[in-house]
Amino acid sequence: MTNKNYLWSGDDNQSIDAELMDFMAGADIKLDKYLFVYDIRASQAHIGGLKTIGILSQQEYQKLYACMSELKELYQKGKFILDNSYEDGHSAIEFYLTEKLGDLGKKAHTGRSRNDQVLTCTRLFQKHKLQQIQELAKNLAGAVLDLAKQHKKTAMPGYTHLQRAMPNTVASWLAGFAESLIDDGYLLRSTINYIDCSPLGTAAGFGVPLDLPRAQVAKELGFERLQINPVYAQNSRGKFDLVVLQSLYQLMLNVRRFSWDLSLYMTAEFGFITLDKTHTTGSSIMPNKSNPDVVE
């Protein structure tokens, strides 16, 4: 990576040690591949705000917006590659704009730091993925309930300490997991609401001396509210991410418990459930084996 590909590089022609940079930020570009389209989306909203306050003319805005749209299309088609020639995705956007539009490309970053830039695209990514996962959890709960309806009168033992305890039904066992998935959906929805605030415009934690139309930009990006205090916006790093991870952990805890039950009930000792051969693996030395790797 050469000196020209760092946004913070000076004009003294001195480059940071490549191995040191790889140690500090070598994984950034790999992770930014997941965030890149959200970063472009946030950048397009940001330049809309710059146009509102007169930093950009209508013509400049249109050129920048079109160039960003072009970059997004090239990236989605695999014709623009994020690689280690860029420090991160944010740098890649700016270098692309300046390569295509010259000094105009640099104006896109006016009133913005990579600090609020990465917070914004990360939050957009998290919101979108949580919405998708919430829908998957809802669909899975519905499928489990449909199966439970078919087994209202199918008896099975209820176990405690892996010992038969009370009579139960397959429907009751399945419906319990369906209800847990429904609760997980509520938790995911609450998490989306919790993180649904825009940090864009807070810069590196101290704001900027521009009257940025933060509410307008937040609305365009689909955020419900603003993070008002710039210091808090940066302090929310990790804090919001942890809440996202905790909500996903709760969901996966239920999936794990269900998978454990399935794995147990498929054993010869229980024999309640069988999997189709298309969903099991075998053994290289024991041809009698049918392994439920998919649920394990």
Reported as half-sphere exposure (CB side, CA atoms, 13 A), residue 120 has a value of 36
What's 71-121 look like in SS3? HHHHHHCCCCCCCCCCCCHHHHHHHHHHHHHCHHHHHCCCCCCHHHHHHHH
Per DSSP, helices labelled H in the chain are: 18-25, 28-52, 58-76, 89-101, 103-107, 114-149, 170-195, 214-220, 230-235, 239-265
DSSP state of 270: T
Contact in structure between 114 and 200 (CB atoms under 8 Å): no
Catalytic residues, which ones? Answer: 161, 283
CA distances from 281 to 94, 143, 271, 295 (A): 49, 25, 17, 11
DSSP state of 128: H
CA distance 178 to 176: 5
Contact in structure between 175 and 147 (CB atoms under 8 Å): no
Reported as half-sphere exposure (CB side, CA atoms, 13 A), residue 145 has a value of 11
Three-state SS for 61?
helix
